[in-house]
Amino acid sequence: MATPIDRDALTLAAFQRRIESIYFDKDSGRGLEATFMWFAEEVGELSRGLRRGTPEQLASEFADVLAWLATLASIAGVELAEVAAKYAEGCPKCHATPCACPEPRPA
């Protein structure tokens, strides 16, 4: 039986470790490319949920996308908590919070 998780103390790093404990063997055995295809399918389900899902369905799809992103990062040897630091000081381009970058011109 799995160890209970304190949901209020679940950091990004702890979430990644949790997903590893549940799925890493299966997902790493499948490989990065095949696992990415599953991730892409979940992103498609999130897209449909954004258009016409209930709040409960939408929350479930966000959770699924986050879990698949975490497992992809683990397979690739990337720590999500470390790479999230890219945004710690605000926008990586203009360094402002909120972002003050000009909107790109339409093509």
10-87, CATH topology level: Helix Hairpins (1.10.287)
State the pLDDT at residue 6. Answer: 73
Q: Is the pLDDT of residue 1 over 60?
A: no
Q: Is the pLDDT of residue 7 over 90?
A: no
Residues 91 and 79: their CA atoms lie apart, in Å, by 20
Q: Which amino acid belongs to residue 83?
A: V
Q: What is the pLDDT of residues 65-83, one digit of tens each?
A: 999 999 999 999 999 999 9
Average pLDDT over residues 48-62: 96
Inter-residue contact 10 to 29 (CB < 8 Å): no
Residue count of the chain: 107
Predicted structure pTM score: 0.86
